[in-house]
Structure formats: C-alpha cells, structure tokens
Amino acid sequence: MRTFDVVRFSFRSATGFRTRTLLILLAMAIGVGAVIMLTALGEGARLYVTREFTSLGTHLLIVLPGRSETTGGPPPLLGETPRDLTLDDALSLKHSSAIRRVAPIAIGSAPVSWQQRSREVTIMGSTAELFDIRQLSMAQGRFLPAGKPTLQTAVCVLGYKVKNELFGNASPLGKWLRIGGRRFRVIGVLTPKGQSLGTDMGDIAIIPVASAQALFNTSSLFRVIIQASGRDSVARAKKAVLDTIRDRHEGEDDVTVITQDALLSTFDRIFTALTLTVAGIAAISLAVAGILIMNVMMISVSQRTTEIGLMKAIGASGGQVLRLFLSESAVLSAIGALLGVMLALIGTWTSLRLYPDFPVTIPWWSLIAAIGVGMLTGLIFGVLPARRAAGLEPVEALSRR
C-alpha cells in the first residue's frame, strides 16, 4: 500500500465520524494553541524588557557606591558609604580609552514651584552627556549645556509631566522657577518617553550635577552611568573603572559595577526559563489530548472490527492495518496542531491589535516544537489502538455482528 493511499484512507475514515473528529481536532488545537500562545507571550515579555533596556542606551555600565561581599546578593542600591563616590571620581574615569561618555548622577527630592503651583519632584543632577547616553530627546528647548561639570549653573530641564503640572499649556522656556530654596531657569522639556525601569523620566527635573550637590548639601553621587566606546570594550571599561576608583580610594574596592549586558543576559535567562516552564505546563494539555485520541481510536477499532476482518480477508497484513490506524491518529493530531497554530496566530494578531506596545511574537522554535510534540503525541497514543487492530483474528473479527 502506498503512503498516499494510507493517508487518504485514514483521512476518509476520520471524516466519516464528523462530530468526534471535530472534537478531537478541537482538543488538539486547544493544546497546541495554548503552548504557542503562551510562548509567544513569554517571548513578547522578553523582547519588551530587552527593548526597555536598550532604550536606556547601549554598552552601558552603572557604577554604584558600596560593595557587598555576599556573592549573589543584590547590589547595594541605596548604599551610603563613608567615602563618597565624588564628582571628581566620575570625571577621572573619562581618561580611559575604553570609555566614551560618563554621566554622574546625583538624585534627591525637592519641592518645585512656579507662581502658586508647587510639586514634590525627583531632582536629578547630571551633565550634558546624559542626553546621549540615555538617548533622550527634547520636546522644547535644549538639554543641559556642555561645559565644566563642576560649575554650578542655575538652569533646569523638565520632564513633560512636571511641565504640564506647573505650566499647563504655556511655554516654560526662559521662566524662572524655584527648586528647594534656589532659582533655576527652564531651558528645555523632555519628550514623553514613558517610565523606564524605575525612573519616571516624565516626573523629573534635571539640573547640573554640581547644582544638585549644592542643593542637597552632599558631595557624593548616587551613581555614575558610563557608555563604553564599543561592545568589545565593555569588559575593559569595567576594569578601568575598578582600577581608577581603587587608585583614588587608597586601594579600597568600594564600588560595584554592573554592566548592561550582564543585566540583560540575566533577564534573558529568567524570561526564557519562565517561558519554557509555562509552555511546559500548557503542554500537559497535549498529553490529555493524546489520551483522548487513544480513547477514540480504541472505540473506533472495536466499532470497525468487521471492517478490519474484511480487510484482512482481502489480503491486508497486520503491518498494513497497524499503519492504517497509526496514520489515522497522526493525521488527526497533525490537523489539530495546524488548527492550533491558526488559533495562536489569531490570538497574537488580536493581542497586537489591542496592545501594540507589547511585542507578542511567536518564536519559530515554539512553532516547530508544538507541532512536532502534537504529532508525536498522536503517534504515541495511537500505537496501542493500532496494535489492537492489527492483532485481531480475521475469522473472529468477521463473525462478530
């Protein structure tokens, strides 16, 4: 018997019982669709986070004051240290060839007021280089001017939320507002960029770093953001930072350096693991669909006993009968899997329509895996009924009513 004939034969017998065939397809489609849909969601989440990270800039390193000796523990995010990470420390890092840009960050909170309106806002002190490192863009005016970072100048750049709260639709450019006890002139407004990883760049006011240190009466920095000169120089940049700071801090290793790549790959690993776990849990439903296929094939074998007897009588071998029934379950699961893929495609399409910001994407490996596992399930669970059919004695099979 030719393969084509085998497949056609099983196709015909599958379409003979319409309701049950449709239900088997439905079961298989739910399983395969769920697996693909969930991996697509997981992949979407991974891409989303990756995009968020790269929107912060590329080849970044973050220098935090303080260091923890418990390996694997979290970095000291809020760490205060007896020896400050100073502005001079930050500026000295520029000498390394592996480092392209350096943006020192001082952070704090202070009331910002204009005329009668006032609002408690996060104040970020930094330099002109932050603009390129964080890939910011201006809605109005310009960013902090380049110049000597140690100079205190009374200018500020507002996030769009702060601007809307204080000025409404009026243009703030050139206006003088009050931050804490000091007066600053507004020179620019950032475009809405949304919240990126903990810092809402809309609800913020950026002033020169030296002004911020004076405002908060501190000489320490919250952190330093560094852009390496290229992908290859990230490791070199990290070493340069540690060496430079150790020299300047009398041999003391008291900073932590996090590279963006390390952070990114950690997140990548976490999300991939999560996606695989969730897809695995959903794949249990494929086993359930497989059990259903086995069940229905068993029934089908006992209902078609006479038919099997007849086929044997006209010369079908046990092996051929086996192949016929196996191919019937394989055809069922394959069509079910294809339907599942279609379900998942519709699902991702709808999701992209509803939430265009969330990049739900079906990874190619999940397509192949889901269809493969689906068909394999059909084959494996088809073995038992097919063997039962192949083992029937023709005389007995024919004599049964």
Residue 224 engages other proteins in binding (rule: CB under 8 A): no
217 touches other proteins by CB under 8 A: yes
Q: Please name the residues in contact with 16: beta carbons below 8 A apart, sequence gap of 6 or more.
A: none
Task: Return the residues of window 6-25 that contact other proteins according to CB under 8 A.
Answer: 19-20, 23-24
Question: Could you tell me if 56 and 223 are in contact, meaning their C-beta atoms sit under 8 angstroms apart?
Answer: no
Q: What angle do CA 296, 300, 304 make, to 5 degrees?
A: 175
Looking at the Cβ atoms of 79 and 318, the one nearer to other proteins is 79
DSSP-H helix ranges across 56-159: 87-92, 129-133
Choosing from 27, 241, 321, 324, the residue that interacts with other proteins (CB under 8 A) is 27
Quote the least distance from Cβ 98 to other proteins, whole Å: 26
Q: Which of 107, 138, 383, 398 binds other proteins (CB under 8 A)?
A: 107
Distances (CA, A) of 339 to 207, 335, 368: 57, 6, 14
Question: What b/e sequence results for 225-256 when a residue is b if at least 16 CB atoms lie within 10 Å of its CB, and e otherwise?
Answer: bbbbbeeebbebbbebbeebbeebbeeeebbb
The residues, any chain, with a CB within 8 Å of residue 263's CB and separated by 6 or more, are 53
Interacting span for other proteins (CB under 8 A) from 193-201, 231-239, 322-330, 338-346 = 193-201
Q: Give the x-and-dash track for 272-301 against other proteins (CB under 8 A).
A: ------x--xx-xx-xxx-xx-xxx-xx--
Cβ at position 375, least distance to other proteins in Å: 16
Residue whose tokens read 């109005």: 140
Residue choice 2, 3, 4, 73 for contact with other proteins (CB under 8 A): 73
Q: Residues of 303-326 as b/e, b for ≥16 C-beta within 10 angstroms?
A: ebbeebbebbeeebeeeebbbbbb
Span interacting with other proteins, options 45-53, 70-78, 165-173, 367-375, rule CB under 8 A: 70-78
Token readout for 23 is 């239900």
Give the residue among 303, 310, 284, 314 at the shortest CA–CA distance from 377. Answer: 284
Q: Are 156 and 186 in contact (CB under 8 A)?
A: yes
Q: Which of residues 299-358 bind other proteins (CB under 8 A)?
A: 299, 303
- For 270, the enclosing helix (H) or strand (E) is helix 260-303
Report, in Å, the least distance between residue 329 CB and other proteins: 13
Min dist. Cβ of residue 30 to other proteins (A): 5
Helices (H), 304-363: 305-313, 318-354
* Interacting residues with other proteins between 108 and 127 (CB under 8 A): 108-111, 120, 122-124
| CB of residue 199 to other proteins, shortest distance in Å | 6
Residue of 3, 70, 116, 169 that binds other proteins (CB under 8 A): 70
CA distance 372 to 290: 13
Beta strand pairing call for 117-126 and 176-179: unpaired
Q: Cα–Cα distance between 22 and 343 in angstroms, integer?
A: 15
| Eight-class DSSP state of 187 | E
Stretch touching other proteins by CB under 8 A, among 8-16, 54-62, 107-115, 164-172: 107-115
Q: Which of 181, 251, 315, 356 binds other proteins (CB under 8 A)?
A: 181
According to CB under 8 A, which one of 7, 47, 55, 84 is a site residue for other proteins? 84
**Residues 179, 158: contact at Cβ < 8 Å?**
no
Nearer CB in complex with other proteins: 202/234: 202
Cβ at position 294, least distance to other proteins in Å: 6
Q: Which is nearer to other proteins, 116 or 217 (CB)?
A: 217
| Binding flag, residue 216, other proteins (CB under 8 A) | yes
Of the two residues 316 and 337, which places its CB atom closer to other proteins in the complex? Answer: 337
Query: In terms of CB distance, is 23 or 273 closer to other proteins?
Result: 23
Q: Residue 77 CB, nearest distance to other proteins (Å)?
A: 7
Shortest distance in whole angstroms from residue 128 CB to other proteins: 20
Q: Where in 228-257 is the site for other proteins (CB under 8 A)? A: 252-254
Q: Report 28-67 residues binding other proteins (CB under 8 A).
A: 30-31, 34, 38, 65-67
